Amino acid sequence: MSAKKKGASKAATGTSASGVEKVEAKATAGLFGSDGNRDEYLALVAELLEHDRRYYVDNDPSIADFEYDQKKKQLEAIEAAHPDWVVAHSPTRRVGHTPLSGFVKVERAVAMLSLDNTYSAGDLTDFFGRVVRGLQGAGDRRSPELVVEPKIDGIGIELTYKAGVFVLGATRGDGLIGEDVTQNLRTVKNLPMILKEKVDLLVRGEVYMPREAFDKLNVERLAAGEEPFKNPRNATGGTLKQLDSRIVAKRPLRVLVYEVVGDAPGIATHSGLLDYLRRLGLPVYPDTKTVGSLDALLKEVTVWQDKRASLPFEVDGLVLKVNDLGQREQLGFTARAPRWAIAYKFPAQQATTKLLDVELGVGRTGVVTPVAVLQPVELAGTTVSRASMHNWDQMSRLGVMVGDFVLVEKAGEIIPQILAVVKERRQGRESELRPIPPPTKCPECGDTLIKRPGEVALRCPNTKPCPRQLREAVTFFCNRDAMNITGLGDKLVESLVTAGLIKDLADLFALTRAALLRLPRLGEKSVDNVLAAIATGRTEATLSRFLTALGIPGIGWVWAQKIAEQYSSLDSLLKADPEAVYRDLVGIHGFGDERAGAVRDYLSDPQTQALLRKFITLGLSPNEPVVSTGPLLGKTFCITGTLSKPRGDFQKRIEAAGGKFTSSVTKKTSYLVIGADPGEDKRTAATKHGVPILEEAALEALLSGKSP
């Protein structure tokens, strides 16, 4: 039975409207009345919603933050003066409003069914065979196409639009009956309140919390003495269940839609429906794949095994759907799941194992981190024997002891972490368990650990200095994305610190041939190579590379470039008043108060000032080159994938030729250069913005002044 026959509403096309146009404002105003002043209010609502969509869905803002904020304040003032004008889809509703007493139940005509699960290539082969046999039984001899999409580990929702306006959002519930969470969903920044066309539409999707935002939320909860969420899905579910939407508004939820309930005129495929949703302005995952054979399907699943860790959200598998809507109708449903779709689940991301010991790690910034030593266990296709325990407050909340059995998960499917203690397995083993008190001294230098106000981390103040911190800082300083000083591996850096040849970063540039030759297992040729690499680092250093290498909190190379644009040399930056630096940086779009404050605090520190003066004394006083000529002048490049040389080498050559290097693709990017195993997100963004895609040979041609 087709979705339409089961009672789904039919989407009807209407007059298209794109951008912030008067015709869109008038169409919106027509829903609510024709009062002239109110029309202006509704036009402002429509304009701000369009800016929201461009910022949160397209990642292509068309207005400065300050201008947006001024328009938002204007809207708030109008609504305060005319509360009877306020519409439910106003951008001001995104901040949350009066708490609810409970959630209203929503009964749906078309059930949100579950999908059957598969776990292996054999299961996928069986599914593909069933689809082929089912179609042949219906007289359809065509080979089926399947759409492959990520299975986001979030909370399923159903969204209702009337005449293009968002009116209802409900959770999945038991499939037939969900809960009305409309007020909470209005706070989700990338969910459009008004579509680009005045259509009646019923769509389904997933609410989720991005990994980076989840990590930040847990840091804030730990700092506030609250229990951290176990995973992003848990955080998303708990957030949607909040009766106070003002709390929801403070949490960074996002939504992606993946299915239309009902028909869209003239669209015969699922991939066509996804394109239709994109045209309406709804957020849809940009990198779905369509495969036409079992071999192509198995290959795509293999690609996803490696790719999933790079996504900004948690993925626990893939969803495979027959693309042709007519073939779907032929295949139909079982009692609980469609025959034309299935979920492929990735290997388990959680496992239980025994905590054997806890070791202490000291990072570049002095944070002392407990690291769990585990009885080896298979997790997501790898053997895990160590896991992060984050900090001592978290350990206290877990109540973990050496000898406990613990639940381990791969955070972001990369870094294992301990989620919980399996306390029921303590019974009869109490004598084997050993408490884990927090340390008071740095395990590397013996300095007394401190805890800064507002932080949960124990930190070595590095007054001796701490050899581990120094080793980490030197390694970071030399890496290819910073000063790009080659040849200083971990063992050599450790030898330099242990021998007392390096007591701070600047000492790298004071190393002599005679001193290096006294180190064990370092021959004359190796010494010459190290000194040559340091000399090259000194001569090729730019201010932005140097600032990146210093490891200033919150300052990666993108923000280091922004600082270098303001202050063209290390000497001028050192001479500037730190408060003046703060004022200059906080005015840069996106820089922010916290990041600018970190730079001010770093430059205000007497130790920092002494270190920077020492660099200058030792001959390292980098400038930021201003290139006014060159074959790449005015061109911006982004690189994805592996090229024949390190990316830092190409960055230097591009900048020397007058070009700019960027880490993301926007409409302002001139070229995307791809190497082996390129990132699909950047390729998709290039296609979206019409950015030409080049291979390495074409880049070489441009660098030499030739056409690609």
Radius of gyration of the CA atoms of the chain, in A = 29
pLDDT band at 671 (very low <50, low <70, confident <90, very high): very high
Q: CA-to-CA distance for 574 and 606, rounded, in angstroms?
A: 11
Q: What is the pLDDT of residue 513?
A: 92
> Considering the chain, what percentage of its residues have pLDDT values greater than 90?
34
Give the model's pLDDT for residue 646. 76
* 310-352 confidence digits (pLDDT tens): 788 888 889 999 999 999 999 988 766 889 999 998 866 678 8
Mean pLDDT of 512-525: 90
Pick from 35-44, 448-457, 567-576, 640-649: least confident: 35-44
Cα angle: 298, vertex 303, 304; to 5 degrees: 100
pLDDT of res. 66: 62
Residue type, 29: A
The percentage of the chain sitting over the pLDDT mark of 70, rounded to a whole number, equals 88
The mean pLDDT value for 481-489 works out to 86
How far, rounded to the nearest angstrom, does the alpha carbon of residue 415 sit from its chain's CA centroid? 15
Contacts for 236 with CB less than 8 Å, ≥ 6 apart = 154, 155, 207, 208, 209, 253
Q: What are phi and psi of 270, to 5 degrees?
A: -65, -40
Alpha helices in 224-375 (DSSP H): 232-240, 245-249, 270-279, 294-307, 325-331
Taking Cα atoms as reference points, which of 9, 462, 17, 318 lies closest to residue 195? 17
- Grade residue 570 by pLDDT with cuts at 50, 70 and 90: very high
- Quote the tokens at residue 387: 């896991």
pLDDT above 50 for 18? no
Residue 321 confidence (pLDDT)? 95
Confidence of residue 411 (pLDDT cuts 50, 70, 90): low
Report the candidate in 264, 271, 233, 310 with the shortest Cα–Cα distance to residue 149. 271
- Residue 59 in this model has a pLDDT that exceeds 80: no
Q: Report how far residue 110's alpha carbon sits from residue 39's, in angstroms, rounded to the nearest whole number.
A: 37
- The pLDDT mean for the chain works out to 83
Q: How confident is the model at residue 100 (pLDDT cuts 50, 70, 90)?
A: low
Cβ-Cβ contacts under 8 Å for 505 (sequence gap 6 or more): 473, 474, 477, 549, 550, 611, 615
Band (384; pLDDT cuts 50, 70, 90): confident
Q: What pLDDT sits at residue 199?
A: 93
| C-alpha to C-alpha distance for 132 and 125, rounded to whole angstroms | 11
Q: Is the pLDDT of residue 15 over 50?
A: no
Residue 429 token pair: 């083993």
> Is residue 16 pLDDT above 50, yes or no?
no
Which pLDDT value is given to residue 516? 93
* Confidence at 273, pLDDT banded by 50, 70, 90: very high
Closest CA relative to residue 319, chosen from 352, 296, 297, 351: 297
* pLDDT tier for residue 31 given thresholds of 50, 70 and 90: very low
Question: Which is higher by pLDDT, 380 or 655?
Answer: 655
- What kind and span of H or E run contains 636? strand 636-640
- Taking 60 as the threshold, does the pLDDT of residue 383 lie above it? yes
Poorest-pLDDT segment among 289-293, 304-308, 384-388: 304-308
pLDDT at position 315 is: 86
User: How many CB atoms neighbour CB 479 within 10 A?
Assistant: 15
The encoded tokens of residue 662 equal 């960027």
**17 has a pLDDT exceeding 50:** no
Average pLDDT over residues 188-204: 92
What confidence tier does 70 reach under pLDDT thresholds 50, 70, 90? confident
Of 10, 73, 151, 423, the active-site residue reads 151
Q: In 3D, which of 205, 188, 185, 166 has the Cα closest to residue 285?
A: 205
- Residue 162: its pLDDT value, please? 94
Contacts of 437 (CB under 8 A, 6+ apart): none
More confident residue, 276 or 22: 276
Structure tokens at 405: 């059995």
Q: Domains in the chain, start-ordered, CATH in brackets?
A: 22-93 (1.10.287.610), 350-432 (2.40.50.140), 467-540 (1.10.150.20), 543-617 (1.10.150.20), 636-703 (3.40.50.10190)
Contact at 8 Å (CB) between 343 and 115?
A: yes
Average pLDDT over residues 76-95: 77
Cα 151–Cα 157–Cα 162 angle in degrees, nearest 5? 130
- 8-state DSSP, 508: G
The pLDDT of 205-217, averaged and rounded, is 89
Token pair belonging to 252: 């960074």
Quick check: is 151 catalytic?
yes
What is the spatial distance between Cα 617 and Cα 619, in angstroms, rounded to a whole number? Answer: 5
User: What would the two tokens of residue 370 be?
Assistant: 């407990």
What's residue 12's pLDDT? 33
The string of pLDDT tens digits covering residues 527-538 is 999 999 999 999
Confidence of residue 291 (pLDDT cuts 50, 70, 90): very high
pLDDT band at 7 (very low <50, low <70, confident <90, very high): very low
571 close to 621: Cβ distance less than 8 angstroms: yes
| Maximum average pLDDT range among 28-37, 202-211, 620-629 | 202-211
Distance separating alpha carbons of residues 146 and 83, to the nearest angstrom: 50
Maximal C-alpha separation, the chain: 87
Paired strand residues for 206: 156, 256
Per-residue pLDDT, 515: 93
Could you read off the pLDDT of 274-289 as tens digits, one per residue? 999 999 999 999 888 9
- Tokens 């992606």: give the residue: 256
Mean pLDDT over 599-623 rounds to: 93
| Sign of the alpha-carbon dihedral angle for 562, 566, 570, 576 | negative
| Other CB atoms within 10 Å distance of the CB of residue 430 | 9
- pLDDT at residue number 58: 55
Which pLDDT score, from 0 to 100, does residue 215 have? 84
Closest CA to 147 of 167, 131, 171, 169: 131
Predicted pLDDT of residue 618:
94
Is the pLDDT reported for residue 214 higher than 50?
Answer: yes
Q: What is the DSSP string of 442-493?
A: -TTT-PBPB--TT---EE---SS--HHHHHHHHHHHHSTTTT--TT--HHHH
Which residues partner with 321 through β-bridges? Answer: 147, 341
Q: Select from 488, 492, 490 the least CA-distant residue to 480.
A: 488
